[in-house]
Chains A and B, each alone.
Chain A
Amino acid sequence: MIAPVLFLFAAGCQSCHPNEARTQPDTPMAQTLQAAGKSTFLQKSTELKFSAGDVSYRIHREAGGAIYTVTVQGTSVSEPLIWAFGSGYTGQTYVFQHDGSFYEAAVSYFPSIQGLDWTPGHAARLHRTVEEALGRKLDAVEGRRCIGCHSTSATWSSSSHVEVEPGVACERCHRNAPAHAAAIAKGDARSAPIAKLGSATPDELAEVCTQCHPSWSEIAADGPRGVPNVRHQFYRLAGSRCYNADDKRIACTVCHDVHTHTAKTAASYDSKCLACHAAGKTCPTAKSDCITCHMPKTEIPGLHYQYTDHWIRVVRQGNPYPD
């Protein structure tokens, strides 16, 4: 089983960083893993259904939990869902146990359609039997990888039992946070300084972010190619003409404050663009909302979400998607 451990966010951080401690738990990263029973989508819906050909899926609430049922030609298997992966900002994928192994459910919840559809990659799988249709068995390596990125810490006592601190909290990115907090408590902050990630260069920041978000080299070497790589912001951003690994003005944290989750307007990013583009040639089309044209929204088929393309460019109708 996966057992959640009590998560004491900012127990040692909030006294010095009260703003971050207050807002960070509401961010998608902080909520990127939660117990399935706590998923707001699953709590809101009495029943969710999806079918394709001979296979049908149902998720329903029962005794505070969520039950996943797969039926193929009259044969059904039901298992309680354990975890919901993803905050639900773009979608949410569920994990359950079956015969002692972890499985990724074949269907996921997509808020834009307010319902279930194939979990990415599952449409291409065979669903001839209920065992095949259940989902994808996660081996130990994959289980560790999934939980590793969607949690702050995970302690595996066996391949089927793990204690998890779900979601991304301080020390997931600030690796020396516990030592730093301990040093502060002793009144000796200098002995364990913490890196200021907000002022890092793109390359320095990549060391932190690419622990979970695929790096330029991972995508460039192994794909995916084409529109599906629009999800991989590091790769896309590095393709931009204005990208410079040493220039802090184009680092992730310039636009993304990972400690807060506030809906931003397109115009709110203009100042970031103008930090470089204020002088010289100006845009002949518009004076604001730069990203709506230069970072077009792009949908990956089947994912029901429009991703912002981080390959910053002059988009001309008919030009191929730069890859």
Chain B
Amino acid sequence: MLVLAVLATAQQPDETLRKAITLHQAGDFTAAIPLYRTYLKVHPNSPEVLSNLGAALAHQGEYAEAIADYAQALKLQPSNPQARANLALAYYKTGDIPQARTEFEKARQLMPSNQQVEFLLADCEIRLGDNKSAIAILTPWESKLPDDQGLNYLLGTALLADGQTERGSQVIDRVLRHGESAEARLLMGTQKLNVRDYAGARTEIEEAIKLNPKLPEAHASLGLALMSVGDYENASRSFHDELAIDPQNYTATFQLGVLAARDLHPEEARSWYEHSLKERPGDLNSRYELARLDLAAGKVDQARVALEQLVKEVPSFIAAHVNLATIYYRLKRKEDGDREREIVRKLTAEAQAKEPAASPSPARVK
């Protein structure tokens, strides 16, 4: 992953700063940090040194403090591109992906066409479920770096998640040209999941995990494959395995909510959905499931308001219309219920018409 250690050179560095930079460059962050702090006591408004201190702290895993120093540096020098990218990276490392995306977007303005910034921004977009944005960011790099494994993996992931199977397959082919890798296996597993080849998906993903047990998203994908064939116990285990690697993983948190709801543990489900909503602020699926929990708990009006808001934001959200219809019927608002049901019928027919292999009319059998 990206590491942007910024070692700025002060115009007239004093001995303390010189020593701090030397130690920093030598990788002795523990020794460099107090020296930066000493220097900053005398020169508190030095954005470069604040940024250096942030970088040293980030190296030590002290992301909260690093974020504070980068933020201070940027307050003094808002257009410092490296401090901005480092701040974004620190958020990324802490798992605050929404904030990381915001900062990477700002860094991208300051450092147009910076490969690492763009790749990390694309990764944030994928993790936040905005696959189209990730594809838009990564596509221009395809011709420049056709054999870059990182690029192909990210682009392949985004394309498959966006349902662009054909183009995704082309990218997977490029990954496979480099031989066996966990990433390639996971991409193939994802592709098989998309076409509902659950047994094939499971085989590929298990192979990916064998090659790299800590590959992000692999255990979550295995959980999805297991859930699809009704193996809920092992699916739950896989989602927890994913969270042990990445506590912020959206798929795992959301699906654990689904499993808890299925097991009739609504409060636990609510907690997982609130978690997944935190990982993807505004996430439609999490909000929808929370509304369903409200409905099941008899909080009909609360559910109605949430679902009405959802269909206002996304008029094609079929499941939300379905539940709204149910609520309206329950509230004896038949006309509204009928209207929602008609919307469902129309949207479902439209969705069916878009499918490449729409089922033909069945043969009549007497």
A residues engaging B (CB < 8 A)?
A: 121, 124-126, 136-137, 139, 141-142, 203, 216-217, 220-222, 225-227, 238-239, 245-246, 266, 289, 292-293, 296-299, 306, 309, 315-323
Residue pairs across A and B with CB atoms within 8 Å: the count is 98
In the complex, A253 Cα to B341 Cα: how many Å?
A: 23
**Residues in B whose Cβ lies below 8 Å from that of A226:** 352, 359
Contact of A125 with B325 in the complex, beta carbons under 8 Å: no
In the complex, A227 Cα to B109 Cα: how many Å?
A: 50
Given A137-B233, A245-B329, A315-B364, decide whether A227 and B322 contact each other with a Cβ distance below 8 A.
no
The chain A residue sitting closest to B196, CB to CB, is A124
Other A-B contacts than A126-B203, A141-B263, A316-B361, 8 sampled, CB-CB below 8 A, are A125-B199, A139-B233, A221-B318, A296-B363, A315-B364, A319-B361, A320-B352, A321-B358
B residues engaging A (CB < 8 A)?
A: 196-199, 202-203, 228-233, 262-264, 318-319, 322-323, 325-326, 329, 334, 341, 344-345, 348-349, 352-353, 358-366
Residue of A222, A299, A317 near B319 (CB, 8 A) is: A222
In the complex, A289 Cα to B366 Cα: how many Å?
A: 9
Contact of B359 with A125 in the complex, beta carbons under 8 Å: no
Residue of B229, B318, B348 near A125 (CB, 8 A) is: B229
What is the minimal beta-carbon distance from B90 to any residue of chain A, in angstroms?
Answer: 40
**Residues in B whose Cβ lies below 8 Å from that of A289:** 366
Contact of B264 with A141 in the complex, beta carbons under 8 Å: yes
Residue of B199, B203, B360 near A124 (CB, 8 A) is: B199
Contact of A239 with B229 in the complex, beta carbons under 8 Å: no
Residue of B198, B318, B365 near A220 (CB, 8 A) is: B318
**Residues in A whose Cβ lies below 8 Å from that of B348:** 220, 225, 323
Residue of A221, A306, A321 near B359 (CB, 8 A) is: A321
Contact of A125 with B198 in the complex, beta carbons under 8 Å: yes
**Residues in A whose Cβ lies below 8 Å from that of B363:** 296
In the complex, A225 Cα to B358 Cα: how many Å?
A: 11
**Residues in B whose Cβ lies below 8 Å from that of A142:** 230, 232
**Residues in B whose Cβ lies below 8 Å from that of A320:** 352-353, 358-361
The chain B residue sitting closest to A244, CB to CB, is B338
**Residues in B whose Cβ lies below 8 Å from that of A222:** 319
The chain B residue sitting closest to A226, CB to CB, is B359
**Residues in A whose Cβ lies below 8 Å from that of B230:** 121, 136, 142
The chain A residue sitting closest to B325, CB to CB, is A217
**Residues in B whose Cβ lies below 8 Å from that of A136:** 229-231
Contact of A139 with B232 in the complex, beta carbons under 8 Å: yes
In the complex, A172 Cα to B232 Cα: how many Å?
A: 28
In the complex, A217 Cα to B345 Cα: how many Å?
A: 12
In the complex, A3 Cα to B169 Cα: how many Å?
A: 52
Residue of A124, A203, A216, A297 near B364 (CB, 8 A) is: A297
In the complex, 18 of the A-B residue pairs with CB atoms within 8 angstroms, ordered by the A residue number, are: A121-B229, A126-B202, A141-B232, A141-B263, A141-B264, A220-B344, A221-B319, A221-B322, A221-B323, A227-B362, A293-B364, A296-B365, A297-B365, A318-B360, A319-B360, A319-B361, A321-B361, A323-B349
**Residues in B whose Cβ lies below 8 Å from that of A203:** 329
In the complex, A121 Cα to B230 Cα: how many Å?
A: 9
In the complex, A136 Cα to B235 Cα: how many Å?
A: 13
What is the minimal beta-carbon distance from B181 to any residue of chain A, in angstroms?
Answer: 22
The chain B residue sitting closest to A140, CB to CB, is B263
Given A220-B344, A238-B341, decide whether A318 and B232 contact each other with a Cβ distance below 8 A.
no
What is the minimal beta-carbon distance from B317 to any residue of chain A, in angstroms?
Answer: 10
What is the minimal beta-carbon distance from B192 to any residue of chain A, in angstroms?
Answer: 11
In the complex, A296 Cα to B231 Cα: how many Å?
A: 34
The chain B residue sitting closest to A239, CB to CB, is B345
**Residues in A whose Cβ lies below 8 Å from that of B345:** 239
Residue of B262, B318, B361 near A141 (CB, 8 A) is: B262
Identify the 4 closest CB pairs spanning chains A and B, nearest first.
A321-B359, A298-B362, A221-B319, A221-B322
What is the minimal beta-carbon distance from B341 to any residue of chain A, in angstroms?
Answer: 7
**Residues in B whose Cβ lies below 8 Å from that of A296:** 361-365
In the complex, A266 Cα to B365 Cα: how many Å?
A: 12
**Residues in A whose Cβ lies below 8 Å from that of B334:** 245-246
In the complex, A98 Cα to B34 Cα: how many Å?
A: 63
